[in-house]
Chain A
Amino acid sequence: MSRDVMIDLQQVSKFYRGQKAPVVENMSMTIQQGEIIVLVGPSGCGKTTTMKMINRLIEPSSGRILIDGTDVTALDGNDLRRQIGYVIQQVGLFPHMSVATNVGLVPRMLGWDRKRIEARADELLHLVGLEPAIYRNRLPRQLSGGQQQRVGVARALAADPPVMLMDEPFGATDPMTRDRLQNEFLRLQEQLRKTIVFVTHDFDEAIKMGTRIAVLGDRSKIRQFDTPENLLANPADSTVAQFIGRGARLKQLDLRRVDAITWEDVPLIAPDKATNGAKRQLEQAEGSSALTVDADNRPLRWVNAHDLTTDAGALAGAGQTVTTVEPQATLRDALDAMLASRDGAAVVVDEHGRYAGTVTLDGLMQVIHHTPEPEEPGAGVPDQRAGAAPAAELTPEQR
Chain B
Amino acid sequence: MTFLEYLQSRRELLLAQTLEHATIVLMSVALATVIGVLIALWTYRNPRARALATGVAAAMLTIPSFALLGLLIAPLGLGYAPTLVALTMYALLPILRNTIVGLSEIDPALTEAARGIGMSRLRSLATVEIPLAWPVILTGIRVSTQMTMGIAAIGAYVGGPGLGNQIFSGLANLGGVNSLNQALVGTVGVIVLALTVDFALALLGKLTQAGQRPKLFRPRLARRPALTPATAVPSPSLGGRE
Q: Which residue of B lies closest to A133 (CB)?
A: B230
A128 touches B237 (CB 8 A): yes
A271 is an interface residue with CB less than 8 A from chain B: no
Q: Which residue on B lies nearest to A90, using beta carbons?
A: B109
Residue from B118, B119, B239 in contact with A130 in the complex, judged by beta carbons closer than 8 Å: B239
**Residues in A neighbouring B113, C-beta threshold 8 A:** 86, 88, 90-94
Is A238 an interface residue when CB atoms closer than 8 A count as contact? Answer: no
A168 to B233, CA, bound (A): 30
Decide: B128 and A81 in contact? CB cutoff 8 A.
no
Q: Are A80 and B118 in contact (CB under 8 A)?
A: yes
Q: Could you show 14 A-B contacts with beta carbons less than 8 Å apart?
A: A78-B118, A80-B118, A81-B117, A88-B113, A88-B116, A90-B113, A92-B110, A94-B114, A105-B119, A109-B119, A127-B236, A129-B235, A131-B233, A145-B242
B120 at the interface (CB under 8 A from A): yes
Kindly list chain B residues whose C-beta atoms are within 8 Å of the C-beta of A105: 117, 119
Judge if B30 is at the interface, Cβ distance under 8 Å: no
The yes or no answer to A64 lying at the interface (CB within 8 A) is no
The answer to the question of B47 belonging to the interface, with a C-beta cut-off of 8 Å to chain A, is no
Q: Within residues 211 to 242 of chain B, which ones have a CB less than 8 A from any CB in chain A?
A: 211-213, 227, 230-231, 233, 235-239, 241-242
Complex Cα distance, B109 from A128, in Å, reads 22
A109 touches B123 (CB 8 A): yes
Q: Is B45 an interface residue (CB 8 A)?
A: no
Q: Is A176 an interface residue (CB 8 A)?
A: yes
Interface string of B103-118 (1 = CB under 8 A from A): 0000101101111111
**CB-defined contacts of B109 to chain A, threshold 8 Å:** 88, 90-92
Check A134–B227 contact: CB distance below 8 A. yes
Mask: chain A, 179-223; 1 = CB below 8 Å from B; 0 = not: 010001001000000000000000000000000000000000000
Asked if A180 and B242 sit within 8 Å, CB to CB, the answer is yes
B binding-site residues for A, Cβ under 8 Å: 107, 109-110, 112-120, 123, 127-128, 131-132, 210-213, 227, 230-231, 233, 235-239, 241-242
Total interface residues in chain A, CB < 8 Å: 45
Q: Is the CB of A92 within 8 A of B112?
A: yes
Instruction: From known contacts A88-B113, A94-B110, infer whether A78 and B120 are also in contact, taking CB-CB under 8 Å.
Output: yes
Considering the chains assembled together, what is the distance between the CA atoms of A277 and B113 in angstroms?
69
Contact B132 A95 (CB under 8 A): yes
Closest to B111 in A: A92
Complex Cα gap A78–B127 (Å): 15
Q: Which residues of B contact A126 (CB under 8 A)?
A: 235-236
Residues of A within 8 Å of B210, CB to CB, are 95-96
Contact B116 A55 (CB under 8 A): yes
With A and B bound together, what is the CA distance between A99 and B57 in angstroms? 40
Alpha-carbon separation in the docked complex, A86 to B112 (Å): 10
B110 touches A131 (CB 8 A): no
Note all chain B residues with C-beta closer than 8 A to A135.
239
